[in-house]
């Protein structure tokens, strides 16, 4: 895939503050969103094969069409909450290319016939918030949009950016998920059908409106076309946000960042709800849905975190799972108690407290790891939102990929690497990373 066709989303990105409306129009030459035919736009987004970039990869055209078909005027929400601590792509996009996202948001308003629009941005991302405030003021002065988007700060938290949590927040509540149904597309903000799209997805919509579906499909794979933003971090010399053609090999991306998969301990793909790949598997995959699905993985929200050779995958997994358990919104029993129990058990395996309570491979039903595996199955699908599902996906993939390491900790307690300070990204918010060419 030609690297020369990139960047697309990040073309004209200004690391010193958001590109101005003038610079944006000079670069992209986008028509005013109000001049675009809604039916044409939805059909073009469908032909482009665009899927959401917020994690679940749902077809965007389907959402646009469904929300736009009701009798009540819909609401559109741009999701720039970026609750995933290892990800910096949305904050980078918003801070450096705000008008592309705002064009996408305005186009979604046109495509659905919406009467109001909200732009949700993480409270812990001040550069993004400032760039958006300035960009919104410029657009209001230029009369570019039919509907003025409202900028909304979303409290930091892993589940704050979940779609029903945003609806709850915009309806005057806390940013915690609510029991579903109805889904936001049925009854969301103000009881109206509500379209919620990740900000990167909206930026792609803007470029598809400008250049068409064939242009979008000119890079990527036939089943997973276009480009995507990824956050590369961990054991690489040059971490940062990059735009890749879908179908790019993981090995070449990591090499571009100054890392070497063969010398790593593995890769966490897709963030804290993601999948661990060992170095051998990681060297085989390309970053597109089809290739990753065969390994039970997905690009998720685009995090590619390379685990250093001297790190302990057991200790790192336990830290993330403990943190995810603490991020439960505290509403659903299986999520609150199940994730805490899984974190407790894994912690005991990692720090040696479970030593001697495992009986080896011959009697796995008796050992703490078998219990964790069983609990993962019992927790999945049992919450009002998919937080527990994402957390146990990470646990299951860690137990599979690092099976020997977990067994070793169960039998022998902490390894040498456990005691070393971690150089892997800690679960924390507001970790800004530069966009890298």
Ligand X SMILES: Cc1cc2nc3c(=O)[nH]c(=O)nc-3n(C[C@H](O)[C@H](O)[C@H](O)COP(=O)(O)O)c2cc1C
Dihedral sign for Cα 423, 322, 398, 314, please. Answer: positive
CB of 108 closer than 8 Å to CB of 138 = no
Total number of residues that touch ligand SF4 (CB under 6 A): 14
Q: Which of residues 152-171 bind ligand SF4 (CB under 6 A)?
A: 159
Indicate whether 163 belongs to the interface with ligand X (CB under 6 A).
yes
Closer residue to ligand X in complex, CB, 52/308: 52
Task: Report residue 337 as tokens.
Answer: 């108690």
Site mask, ligand SF4, residues 310-349, x = CB under 6 A?
A: ------------------xxxxx--xx-------------
Interacting partner of 380 out of ligand SF4, ligand X, none (Cβ under 5 to 8 A depending on kind): none
**Which residue stretch of 54-62, 223-231, 234-242, 361-369 sits at the interface with ligand X (rule: CB under 6 A)?**
54-62
- DSSP, res 433: -
CB of 338 to ligand SF4, least distance (A): 9
Quick one: which segment of 25-33, 55-63, 136-144, 225-233 binds ligand X (CB under 6 A)? Answer: 55-63
Which of 88, 132, 253, 385 lies at the binding interface for ligand SF4 (CB under 6 A)? 385
Q: Does 394 bind ligand SF4 (CB under 6 A)?
A: no
Contact stretch for ligand SF4 (CB under 6 A) within 94-102, 138-146, 294-302, 379-387: 379-387
For 375-378, which contacts have Cβ atoms below 8 Å and span 24 or more sequence positions?
A: 375/338, 375/341, 375/342, 375/345, 376/342, 378/334, 378/338
Q: Which is nearer to ligand SF4, 78 or 329 (CB)?
A: 329
Among 80, 193, 279, 388, binds ligand SF4 (CB under 6 A): 388
Q: Are 165 and 385 in contact (CB under 8 A)?
A: yes
The DSSP result for 293-349, as a single string, is HTTT---TT-EEEEEPTTS-HHHHHHHHHHHHHHTS-S--HIIIIIHHHHHHHHHHH
| Alpha carbon 372 to chain centroid, angstroms | 26
Tell me the CA distances in angstroms from 155 to 56, 76, 206, 375, 387, one per residue in order.
22, 20, 27, 30, 17
User: Residues 358-362: contacts with CB within 8 Å, 24+ apart?
Assistant: 358/407, 358/410, 358/411, 360/411, 361/407
Nearer to ligand SF4, 79 or 116 (CB): 79
Q: What minimum distance in Å lies between the beta carbon of 23 and ligand X?
A: 26
- The verdict on 81 binding ligand X (CB under 6 A) reads yes
150-154: strand order across its sheet: 150-154, 116-122, 75-80, 194-198
From ligand X, ligand SF4, none, which one binds at residue 257 (CB under 5 to 8 Å depending on kind)? none
Place of tokens 């200004």: 14
Contacts for 308 with CB less than 8 Å, ≥ 6 apart: 234, 235, 264, 265, 423, 424
| Secondary structure class of 32 (helix, strand, coil) | coil
Task: Indicate which single residue of 18, 33, 49, 55 sits in contact with ligand X (rule: CB under 6 A).
Answer: 55
Considering only the stretches 142-150, 303-311, 383-391, 413-421, report the one whose residues sit in contact with ligand SF4 under the rule CB under 6 A.
383-391
177 binds ligand SF4 (CB under 6 A): yes
Residue with Cβ nearer ligand X (228 or 282): 228
- Beta carbon nearer to ligand X, 270 or 313: 270
Measure CA 115 to chain center. Answer: 27
Determine if 156 is a binding residue for ligand X (CB under 6 A).
Answer: no
Residue 384 near ligand SF4 by CB under 6 A: yes
Contact status: 197 vs ligand X (CB under 6 A): yes
In DSSP notation, 334-388 reads IIIIIHHHHHHHHHHHHHTTTTTS---GGGGGGSHHHHHHHHHHHHTT-SSSSHH
DSSP bridge pairs for 307: 266
Tell me which stretch binds ligand X (CB under 6 A): 67-75, 161-169, 249-257, 405-413: 161-169
Spatial distance between the Cα atoms of 32 and 144, rounded to a whole number of angstroms: 6
Nearer Cβ to ligand X, position 188 or 234?
Answer: 188
**What residues line the site for ligand X (CB under 6 A)?**
52-56, 58, 79, 81-83, 158-159, 161-163, 196-198, 201, 385-387
What is the binding site for ligand SF4 (CB under 6 A)? 159, 177, 328-332, 335-336, 383-385, 387-388
């Amino acid at each position: 895939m030609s690297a020369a066709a990139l960047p697309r989303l990040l073309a004209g990105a200004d690391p010193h503050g958001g590109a101005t409306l003038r610079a944006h129009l000079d670069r992209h030459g986008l028509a005013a969103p109000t001049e675009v035919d809604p039916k044409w736009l939805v059909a073009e987004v469908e032909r482009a094969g665009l899927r959401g970039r917020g994690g679940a990869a749902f077809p965007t055209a389907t959402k646009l069409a469904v929300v736009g078909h009701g009798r009540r005027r819909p609401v559109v929400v741009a999701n720039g909450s970026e609750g995933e601590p290892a990800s910096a792509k949305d904050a980078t996009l918003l801070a450096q290319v705000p008008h592309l996202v705002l064009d996408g948001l305005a186009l979604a308003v046109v495509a659905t016939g919406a009467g109001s629009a909200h732009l949700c941005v993480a409270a812990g991302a001040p550069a993004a918030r400032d760039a958006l405030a300035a960009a919104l003021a410029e657009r209001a002065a230029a009369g570019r949009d039919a509907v003025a988007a409202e900028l909304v700060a979303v409290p930091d938290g892993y589940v704050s950016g979940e779609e029903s949590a945003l609806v709850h927040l915009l309806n005057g509540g806390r940013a915690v998920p609510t029991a579903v149904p109805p889904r936001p597309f049925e009854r969301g903000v103000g009881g109206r059908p509500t379209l919620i799209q990740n900000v990167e997805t909206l930026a792609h919509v803007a470029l598809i409106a400008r250049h068409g579906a064939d242009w979008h499909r000119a890079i990527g794979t036939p089943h997973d076309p276009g480009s995507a933003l990824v956050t590369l971090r961990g054991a690489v010399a040059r971490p940062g946000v990059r735009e890749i053609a879908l179908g790019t090999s993981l090995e070449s991306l990591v090499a571009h960042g100054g890392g070497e998969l063969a010398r790593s301990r593995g890769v966490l793909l897709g963030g804290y709800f993601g999948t661990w790949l060992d170095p051998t598997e990681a060297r085989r995959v390309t970053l597109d849905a089809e290739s990753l699905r065969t390994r039970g993985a997905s690009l998720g929200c685009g995090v590619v975190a390379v685990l250093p050779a001297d790190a302990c995958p057991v200790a790192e997994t336990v830290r993330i799972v403990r943190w995810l358990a603490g991020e439960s919104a505290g509403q659903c029993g299986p999520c609150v108690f199940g994730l805490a129990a899984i974190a407790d058990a894994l912690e005991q395996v990692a720090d040696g407290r479970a030593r001697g309570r495992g009986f080896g491979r011959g009697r796995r039903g008796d050992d703490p790891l078998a219990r964790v595996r069983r609990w993962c199955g019992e927790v999945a699908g049992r919450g009002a939102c998919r937080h527990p599902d994402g957390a146990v996906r990470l646990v299951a993939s860690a137990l599979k990929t690092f099976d020997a390491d977990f067994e070793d900790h169960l039998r022998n307690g902490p390894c040498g690497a456990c005691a070393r300070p971690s150089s892997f990204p800690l679960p924390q918010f507001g970790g800004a990373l530069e966009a890298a060419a």
